[in-house]
Amino acid sequence: MTGQAQPQSGGFFYGWIIVFAAFVAFGMVYGTVLYSFTVFVNPVAQTFGATPAQVQLAFAMTNVGSGILGIYAGRLLAKYSKRACIMSGLAVLGLGFLALSQVTALWQFIAVYAVIVAFGGVMAAPMGASTIVSNWFITNRGRALTCATLGTSFGQLVIPKVAALIMQEHGWQAAYQAFAVVLIVVAVPIIFFIVKDHPEDKGLRAYGAEPSAPVSAPAAAPSLMSTGDVLRRGDFWSIGISYILCVFVYLALTASMVPYARTFGVSALDASNLVVAMGVGAIIGKLAFATWTDRMGLRNTFWIAVGLNATALILLLTMPEYNVLFVVSLFVGGAAGGILPVWPGLVAFRFGRQALGQVMGLMGPIVISLQGFGAPLAAKMGYQSAFMLFLGLLAVSVIVSRNLNKAASA
């Protein structure tokens, strides 16, 4: 069989269709699981006679469950069809939302989030979506991953509003049922019909592959590295620690902006504008990073994101007023474009794209389980003290990641 021309030689490269599919997976998972959760808190609490804090435990347990179950999701992605894994993840997530619409007690609500939603979500995105994109791109991988993560901004801007509208007319159970229908009837078929695991499946080479690379058949599934071999590598810990420190601070700032603004008299309406500013900043940041990431390198991209968060913290510590908070929100949102693609990108760079799912899965207990606890910590210890602590964590993140721009030793 004769392979088609290199994508670099002209014409449209099918890998960008794969990026679109990953965009859909990121948007559906982040929009339904992460960004929409807040609109369910009060009505669910009212239904079960609970406090909002008790309902929010489900969100914390989703992070913990995703981190632990991500180990198994990563191994599945390393051994089996990536397309099948993403489809399975979206289907499981849909079934999880269907189960949420039927729960009769708060403990059931928390359990479904912690197990079914956590496993389905982490399988589809970030792990599955990042893995499939990395399979198709060798060069321009940073740009491709950043474009895929634009789906998270789509999910943030659209899905919570749709959920709130459905909830207003038909109740929160109907909103979860709508999530299930869209995931199973729309998202799963999109992945089925347009995703291929490898460019060789369409007679293509990965973007940036050597012209001599074979195109007659996809590469055989590689044997998994042993868990011990992965855990003994210093770059495993450098990537995991530097990334979790940065994303811990980023998510803490994202979740704390509105309650922090409210502590010095900003109205609820004005405070809500800060959320919109973060969403706009995220889109601008992702487009900018998509343009420049591959030229700068992933480590430098990561440092720019750290710098944006650090600048936001300094402004919060020195000039806590509404106009400044608006600028801070833009900075925090913009940092997302340099944070989200870095984890899969650095893992693929240091461990190889074939090991991406396995290594991301093993990092899950470090990266995913702990990432959502920054905002409660800030509220407990006081925002000013927390912001100073966060600056220190960002400094450690930079130090730990200083050598990640170098290829792994043979």
Query: The CATH number of the domain where 140 resides is what?
Result: 1.20.1250.20
Say if 246 falls within a structural domain: yes
Global pTM value: 0.85
Asked if residue 296 and residue 198 are part of one domain, the reply reads no
| The last residue of a domain, from among 202, 217, 238 | 202
Is residue 3 domain-resident?
Answer: no
Cβ within 8 Å of residue 9, ≥6 positions away: none
Residues 162 and 65 in one domain: yes
Of 333, 310, 374, the closest CA to residue 149 belongs to 333
What is the three-state SS of 162-200?
A: HHHHHHHHHCHHHHHHHHHHHHHHHHHHHHHHHCCCCHH
Please tell me the distance from the alpha carbon of residue 30 to that of residue 17, in angstroms, as a whole number. Answer: 20
**Residue 338 and residue 231 share a domain:** yes
Q: What pLDDT is attached to residue 221?
A: 55
- Mean pLDDT by runs of 10 across the 410 residues of the chain is 46 93 96 88 93 85 94 93 97 98 97 97 95 92 92 88 92 97 97 94 87 58 80 95 95 87 81 83 90 89 96 92 90 90 90 89 90 86 94 98 79
142-168 residues labelled b (16+ CB within 10 A) or e (exposed)? bbbbbbbbbbbbbbbbebbebbeebbe
Same domain, 154 and 290: no
Same-domain pairing of 377 and 287: yes
Residue matched to tokens 């869209």: 182
Q: How many CB atoms lie within 10 A of CB 183?
A: 25
Residue 314 lies in a domain: yes
pLDDT at res. 240:
96
Q: 78 lies in a domain?
A: yes
192 and 241 within one domain:
no
Are residues 63 and 188 located together in one domain of the fold? yes
Same domain, 87 and 185: yes
Pick the closest to residue 113 from 55, 31, 187 (CA basis): 55
Predicted pLDDT of residue 255: 83
> What integer pLDDT is reported at residue 16 of this predicted model?
96
170 and 235, same domain (yes or no) = no
Same domain, 180 and 278: no
Q: Is 328 inside any structural domain?
A: yes
- Cα–Cα distances (Å) from 118 to 21, 33, 110, 175, 319, in that order, read 20, 9, 11, 18, 38
Instruction: Supply the pLDDT for residue 2.
Output: 39
User: Rounded to whole angstroms, how far apart are CA atoms 76 and 80?
Assistant: 6
In a domain, 262, yes or no: yes
Number of domains comprising the chain: 2
Alpha-carbon gap, residue 346 to 71, rounded angstroms: 18
Distance CA 30, CA 22 (A): 12
Give yes or no: residues 271 and 142 share one domain.
no
* Within a domain: 211: no
Boundary (domain end) residue, out of 185, 202, 219: 202
Domain-located, residue 5: no
Query: 85 lies in which domain range?
Result: 11-202
Q: State whether 289 and 377 are in the same domain.
A: yes
